[in-house]
Amino acid sequence: MYFLDEAAIERVALGVIDRTLPKTEWTHAGHFAAALWLCRHRRELTQSDEIRTLISRYNEATKTANTDTGGYHHTITLASMRGAADYLAGHPENAPLHFVHSALMASRYGHPDWLLAYWSREVLFSLPARRGWVEPDLALLPF
């Protein structure tokens, strides 16, 4: 298990929202913990412009510059949020998030390179994909 209880998941999400989460905890697993919690508890923050603002401000607070080569990446963020929402929808409404998260991390989403099944590296890591949504060029997303 990545997170032992609901409080641990919530701590990550609220830490991103209030910009207090230590940067060392903003890992692949941490991203999905926050995504699941936001999908369940703060749906309004999962909208395209809202999630961009939320993560960009968190990055700035942790001294991560949002540039053309680093920091916030819009296509990766939106694809991951959609994947988290889809995965969460496949579980009962009252399923504990830390169990959903552990299952998600054991799925294809748990591999940091899962997006490369849908986007070529060149397209996914392009400037247009960093700045805005770019459709997959290899395969349709399953959600």
The three state secondary structure string of 66-108 is: CCCCCCCCHHHHHHHHHHHHHHHHCCCCCCCHHHHHHHHHHCH
Burial category of 68 from C-beta neighbours within 10 Å (exposed 0-12, middle 13-18, buried 19 and up):
exposed
33, part of any domain: yes
Whole domain around residue 87: which residue ranges? Answer: 6-114
123, part of any domain: no
pLDDT band for position 1 (cuts 50, 70, 90): confident
130, part of any domain: no
> Based on the structure, what is the number of domains in the chain?
1
pLDDT band for position 42 (cuts 50, 70, 90): very high
Instruction: Kindly report the pTM of this predicted structure.
Output: 0.96
128, part of any domain: no
Q: Residue 119: CB partners within 8 Å, gap ≥ 6?
A: 75, 129, 134, 136, 137, 138
140, part of any domain: no
Does the structure show a pLDDT above 90 at 133?
Answer: yes
135, part of any domain: no
Three-class SS state of 35: helix
The pLDDT tens digits of the residues spanning 44-91 come to 999 999 999 999 999 999 999 999 999 999 999 999 999 999 999 999
Does the structure show a pLDDT above 80 at 129?
Answer: yes
Residue 69: predicted pLDDT: 96
125, part of any domain: no
Whether 61 contacts 138, CB under 8 Å: no
67, part of any domain: yes
Q: CA dist 86 to 55, 65, 77, 79, 82, Å? A: 20, 30, 14, 10, 6
